[in-house]
Amino acid sequence: MNKLAQKVAEYFPYTEMRRFQDDFINTVHSAIEEHRSVIIEGSNGLGKTVAVLSACLPTVIENKLKVLFVARTHRQHDRIIEELAEISKKQPVTGISVRGKREMCLNHMAKTYSSDLHTFMEICELLKARKKCPLYQNIEYKSQIYFEILEQVALRPYKASEIQSICRRHGFCPYELVKAALSEVSVVALSYLYVFDPMIRNVFLKNLETPLDRMILIIDEAHNLPETAVDIASFTLPLFTVRQAENEAKKFRYLEVADFANALKVEIERRAENSPKEQEMPESFISDLIQERVGEGDFQKFCEGLHSKGNAIKRSLFSEGKYPRSYIHGLSEFLKKWLETADDYAYIRTLNRYISRRGGETAKLEIVALDPAKITAPVFSSTYCNVVMSGTLQPLEAYKKMTQLPEDTIEKVVPAPFPQEHILPLVCCGVTTAMEKRTYKMYDKLVKRISEVVKNTPKNTGVFAASFEVLEALVAAGLEKALDKQLFCERRHMNSRENEKMVAAFKRCATNGGAVLLGVQGGRSSEGVDFPGDQMNSVAIVGLPYSEPTPRIKAQINYFEKMFPTYGREYGYVLPAMKKASQAAGRPIRTPIDKGAIIFMDYRFAAAYCKSFLPAWIKDHLKIMPDEEGVISRELGWFFRRVS
């Protein structure tokens, strides 16, 4: 602890620090003291969560600031609060984790009759307005108890699940209690959307009662932020919405709107039929259709008309005690975005065919954002400072440019805390998932190599394919039959609950002979899930997860090329793939005592260019294996005997 400044040491809750943890803490603390942002890469097992909290809290408490700690999953939010609870045993600190309104809701009617978030929000507001939600009404009826609980919540760190339990016991709305507590606590753990979605952020900040320039923003798993930002800035119009808008227009006798919606539906269906999975659409597509079917030359005027009609329908439904949803209103919102993004080369418009949740083929129009900085820059420039951290951020300068972090942002890569002898990183020559080499013979060879890994791994093995196409081809090539352990296989369209159940069953096999988890790089199982100890002794990275060269990927590359000359392909194509591969590769190594083998099954990982994007703890010790049967068996046998 003598390696930390005294006031920082007071907030570090453990008697011992992990290797290089002091380096991480001191870097972050110094940056915050200087009122500067920091982008910092620290590998698995470093203890980044408690480290960053310990580094921030002295400045937060001293200057009466607030911490927004952004992470992807509920488990990560809980971990933040758990570490904060450990700190609170040494120093008085407060915090709360926030979940979505629908996830926290205890009202049976609202949850039962809402098929999606939008419907839930409408039902919630309707129940509150009509005084039909007892959980909300109890805030007024049992105000003394409510405010006593609120005072209690403001005394120590609380998880969202703990708030739910308290509210279930006393009959209050958990979301309203969390909302009221936000202004009273020092640390808030929450999802990306609360901070980076402009509409949600504006509402959320009112509840915080603290301006952004009085907040330290911490972003965990920050390698996900560029993709999340692009998703936030993009807009979608499903064919289903267009059909429903046509039906709604007929019902309310808006014949001109019905005619336009019908024409739009027919045109989407026509273009989607027998066409590529994704096709670029001209900017004039909508305005030409309006001109042709409605005779209205003023695009904006037509959109405003749709918007007012949609609002009229919502008001009418609300007055009748029905759920105030209008598909015409939804259509108008999309058309408005189409108009607003016209002539902006940071967007591309596409028509996509896809499989719906019910398994049928359908289509959607999309306005696809190409620049994550449209979402990230306004936030990064407004906070007190930003701490951007992950195990896979290099090259840091590229990330800094793409997200427009402040110019004086400190860049730091902290060494891995685990002994190098605990890791065996290999590259297999002679195998690849390169598109032109995806043959039956190649998949048969990959199956043999994977089988070799599984047979020479003591317990559990992870296998992460470049895509679902590759995953399905491995299964078709007889992977399951080739294995001597049970296979758990990720499926397309698998929801989070199904995936969690599958992963839990896979982990249990670690105590009984082992199993194999087959998933995709960039999927639910290859990021954000920990597999310590025997839960994953080895991992096979099957192929490089380069995106299919669709119109949006080509547009992304071209956009970055304009913004950052000579770096377009690297930023828009190579880096996203290498980050997915690196994340998947790190699954077996979650703590300093874990031991694991990482086998890259694609010769391209051995190339100097691709290798340069792997984390230092992998690339500095990567062994290239010749294209021979038995070499993997020998390497793994030697490694696991040595570390057992």
pLDDT, one tens digit per residue, over 166-221 is: 999 999 999 999 999 999 999 999 999 999 999 889 988 888 989 999 999 999 99
Report the distance separating Cα 580 and Cα 223, nearest Å: 9
CA distance readout (Å), 348 to 67, 74, 227: 35, 33, 15
Q: What is the pLDDT of residues 545-571, one digit of tens each?
A: 999 999 999 999 999 999 999 999 999
CB 191 within 8 A of CB 97: no
Give me the mean pLDDT over the 365-385 stretch: 97
CB 229 within 8 A of CB 374: yes
- How much is the pLDDT for 297? 67
Quickly list H helices, 64-133.
Answer: 74-87, 101-104, 108-112, 117-129
- How much is the pLDDT for 115? 65
Mean pLDDT of the chain: 93
Instruction: State the DSSP H helix or E strand holding residue 465, giving kind and residue range, or none if neither.
Output: strand 461-465
- How much is the pLDDT for 245? 96
- How much is the pLDDT for 70? 97
Name, in order, each residue with C-beta under 8 angstroms of 52's C-beta and a sequence gap of 6 or more. Answer: 24, 25, 28, 218, 387, 389
CATH 3.40.50.300 positions along the chain are: 1-68+89-95+187-220+384-417, 420-643
CB 95 within 8 A of CB 160: no
Write the CATH number of the domain with boundaries 420-643: 3.40.50.300
Quickly list H helices, 279-395.
Answer: 285-293, 299-319, 327-340, 373-380
Query: What is the DSSP-derived secondary structure letter of residue 184?
Result: G
- Amino acid identity at 98: V
Report the distance separating Cα 227 and Cα 320, nearest Å: 42
* Phi, psi angle pair for 596, to nearest 5°: -155, 150
- Nearest alpha carbon to residue 70 among 399, 404, 383, 369: 383
- How much is the pLDDT for 289? 87
Give me the mean pLDDT over the 484-507 stretch: 92
CATH 1.10.275.40 positions along the chain are: 235-369
pLDDT band at residue 346, thresholds of 50, 70 and 90? very high
Percent of the chain scoring above 90 in pLDDT: 78
CA distance readout (Å), 483 to 27, 296, 462, 638: 46, 64, 13, 21
Q: What is the pLDDT of residues 121-143, one digit of tens each?
A: 878 888 888 888 999 999 999 99
Q: What is the pLDDT of residues 29-50, one digit of tens each?
A: 999 999 999 999 999 889 999 9
- How much is the pLDDT for 293? 76
CB 212 within 8 A of CB 383: yes
Q: What is the pLDDT of residues 304-329, one digit of tens each?
A: 999 999 989 988 887 777 777 899 99
- Nearest alpha carbon to residue 500 among 512, 510, 488: 488
Cβ count near 381 (within 10 Å): 14
Write the CATH number of the domain with boundaries 1-68+89-95+187-220+384-417: 3.40.50.300
- How much is the pLDDT for 2? 52
Give me the mean pLDDT over the 475-483 stretch: 97
Helices and strands counted in the chain (H then E):
31, 18
- Nearest alpha carbon to residue 368 among 380, 351, 354: 351
Q: What is the pLDDT of residues 412-430, one digit of tens each?
A: 999 999 899 999 999 999 9
Name, in order, each residue with C-beta under 8 angstroms of 20's C-beta and a sequence gap of 6 or more. Answer: 42, 46, 414, 415, 416, 417
Report the distance separating Cα 12 and Cα 305, nearest Å: 59
3-class secondary-structure state, position 168: helix
Q: CATH number for 235-369: choose from 1.10.275.40, 3.10.129.10, 3.40.50.11540, 3.90.209.20.
A: 1.10.275.40
Percent of the chain scoring above 70 in pLDDT: 99
CA 398 to centroid of chain Cα atoms: 20
- Amino acid identity at 638: W
CB under 8 Å, gap of 24 or more: what pairs does 294-299 form?
A: 294/256, 294/259, 294/260, 299/335, 299/339
- How much is the pLDDT for 343? 87
Cβ count near 234 (within 10 Å): 18
CB 362 within 8 A of CB 549: no
